[in-house]
Structure 1
């Protein structure tokens, strides 16, 4: 694996770019219609080492490069959510150092043989993780699980679900993580965007789960979840500015080729200025997020700064994709236009991984403002 500076890692960038253009872009519209990506894509990504990045190979900065290049080569944040769901499903397992769980779940996911998902959100508890109600009661060598999870990425296709359950008293100290393989029902959910990424509601009714599927210690799940939120939020910030960059690139090309009243759109001052403003927003978000990603990678305590990075990148992305659709005119509103997909997909980035309002509240508290 390449271990150069974040701005370099040229071999990794080229590898990801080629994979995206050859294996993803020609089929993405079809997968959007199908509502999921094929399992074969997981195996192809694993064969060239992409699914191992951040686990058995590479680090967070390599993951940043991976995310940037997939989107900027014509992929999408929805594609990343579908293909790299193991990025949120197995970190807790990997860090538990439980060899049995690693062999049964983490390694098969990295090899593209199994699809994992993470189930935290419930109908009555999203960002408020400490309030989850899905309960797991220990009975000898197994737990009985009852409750409902919703908005679960890859929940329809998942072979296993790393699930946040309540094993103790109310509050954050009573939460554990269990890997659940079967015995529950699934309902596919329809969404505004991320159409190629299946999303499900999961219902557990006295689901029997082996006690050996407990990740880490009982009632220590909250800390495990919070620790991984930092990486998830940085990743979503990268998805945001990378999406914005792709939308800008498409818009520059469009305005160069689109003529109105005898000259290209880009020659209009109002258009040129708008493009410059879009580029400025992206560059500021990208520069800041990359710096915070490097600090997270070094193990620094930058929870506040991660909140800032996610919110800043999401805001920049929202403004840029909106402007991109506007500058494309009627074509920007058509499903055949790539910017239309990015416009829809971008909306979830300010909700997933902690809503923008939650990020602001968390930052305010850590700064002593609330």
Structure 2
């Protein structure tokens, strides 16, 4: 697989040159090889990533890629976030990748984009250093991609809000320090009645009902959260009351981009792994690589992944340049989410019986990949967005 992604030259509004992006890629790749791969099997068993690892990622600057220097960030852009996501995907541990990307690109973005100056000053330094881990709580038992259908309520009482409701499938939900929570402040106002709130771990009325047992992404903790008379100060509103839906929709674009990056990285790693396997696995007097059908299928998958990768980085560049790319982000999320599953299916097939064994990385990777066509906006939702803009 190619190591060099398509990245733009330095230009107006895009201060980072290609070499600087690749320095980031090299740093993340070294961290994956030295710190993640030797330990992540244990994290798969434990169901979470140890805090020292997360703090180390903060120390290395990975949690501040897109954030201002005043908080400890690097002030890079969507292309840099995509590189980060791709290299985490290449780690072969989808749970590690998603736990990290939820913090960097799906939850903390709400604090930065919608937080007041005081909220940013309080939380952003810890978010970037890895001392404060974040989660975003939107999904509910009866509301996923249809955000307007959430039923969690927030009612004003004096200088506080009282939250009541249940959130489900919340990544980092067990161990997060800070939750960005969507609730309805005006149920009669539809999308105009949703507000985002900051809720700290340990707030009375907030409880982790259970840690969920998942098919894949097992090294990330995922929770059901219950808000039962959870009282938070009015100053914990994120943005203006009633504008939460628009905050969620805006941040979905970044979420979908990095999920696509994660998918491409995982697909690349699976193909590399399978090439090594078929070139070594003896069968019928030779090795599997001698079989034309296997060579051609892997070649086609490599071509598809490289095409998806180029589309991904072209879209990231457009986002970095502040262009409207809702259509392209929706396309790339759909394409990459489906493609990674096609890749995993074929790569597991070519591993034969070994592909079904828990000791084989491809078995874990195939399980982890399945959610990439679901989470962050199912393929069908993405394609409907594209169709509505055609």
Which TM-score bucket, shorter chain as reference? over 0.9
Paired residue for 1:69?
87
2:23 maps to 1:23: no
Task: Choose the corresponding residue for 1:11, options 23, 28, 36.
Answer: 23
After superposition, give the CA deviation of every residue in 1:236-293 in whole Å (9 maximum; x if it has no partner): 1111111111100000011111111221211111110111111111111111111111
| Secondary structure of 1:90's aligned partner | helix
In the TM superposition, 1:201-350 aligns within 5 A as 201-350=224-373
Taking the aligned partners of 1:71 and 1:239, their CA distance within structure 2 comes to 4
The question of whether the paired residues in 2 share the 8 Å contact of 1:85 and 1:115 is answered with no
Q: Superposition RMSD on alpha carbons, in Å?
A: 1.4
The question of whether the paired residues in 2 share the 8 Å contact of 1:131 and 1:170 is answered with no
Taking the aligned partners of 2:124 and 2:244, their CA distance within structure 1 comes to 17
After superposition, give the CA deviation of every residue in 1:186-242 in whole Å (9 maximum; x if it has no partner): 111111000000100111111001111111111011111100000000111111111
2:184 maps to 1:166: yes
The question of whether the paired residues in 1 share the 8 Å contact of 2:92 and 2:266 is answered with no
Taking the aligned partners of 1:287 and 1:10, their CA distance within structure 2 comes to 16
After superposition, give the CA deviation of every residue in 1:78-126 in whole Å (9 maximum; x if it has no partner): 2111123222111121112512211332321111101110000011111
After superposition, give the CA deviation of every residue in 1:33-57 in whole Å (9 maximum; x if it has no partner): 0001101111110111111112222
The question of whether the paired residues in 1 share the 8 Å contact of 2:169 and 2:222 is answered with yes
Task: Choose the corresponding residue for 2:197, options 178, 194, 217.
Answer: 178
Structure 1: state its 5+ residue gaps.
none
Greater RCO, CA 8 A, separation 6+: 2
The question of whether the paired residues in 1 share the 8 Å contact of 2:79 and 2:316 is answered with yes
Paired residue for 1:33?
45
User: How big is the shift at 1:11?
Assistant: 1.6
Taking the aligned partners of 1:19 and 1:54, their CA distance within structure 2 comes to 19
User: How big is the shift at 1:171?
Assistant: 1.0
TM-score, normalised with respect to structure 2:
0.91
After superposition, give the CA deviation of every residue in 1:275-330 in whole Å (9 maximum; x if it has no partner): 11111111111111111111111111111111111111111111101000000111
| Secondary structure of 1:18's aligned partner | helix
Taking the aligned partners of 1:221 and 1:291, their CA distance within structure 2 comes to 29
| Secondary structure of 2:38's aligned partner | helix
In the TM superposition, 1:31-180 aligns within 5 A as 31-55=43-67, 56-57=73-74, 58-72=76-90, 74-87=91-104, 88-96=106-114, 98-168=116-186, 169-180=188-199
Q: 1:151 to 1:97 in 2, by over 3 A?
A: closer
Taking the aligned partners of 1:28 and 1:164, their CA distance within structure 2 comes to 32
Which runs of structure 1 show a deviation greater than 3 angstroms over 4 or more consecutive aligned residues? none
| Secondary structure of 2:226's aligned partner | strand
The question of whether the paired residues in 2 share the 8 Å contact of 1:37 and 1:83 is answered with no
The question of whether the paired residues in 2 share the 8 Å contact of 1:240 and 1:317 is answered with yes
Taking the aligned partners of 1:71 and 1:18, their CA distance within structure 2 comes to 14
TM-score, normalised with respect to structure 1:
0.95
| Secondary structure of 1:332's aligned partner | helix
Taking the aligned partners of 2:322 and 2:180, their CA distance within structure 1 comes to 24
User: How big is the shift at 1:10?
Assistant: 2.4
Taking the aligned partners of 1:161 and 1:294, their CA distance within structure 2 comes to 30
Once the two structures are overlaid, the 10-residue window that deviates more, 146-155 or 234-243, is 234-243
Aligned length: 364
Taking the aligned partners of 1:241 and 1:13, their CA distance within structure 2 comes to 14
Structure 2: state its 5+ residue gaps.
1-14, 68-72
| Secondary structure of 1:320's aligned partner | helix
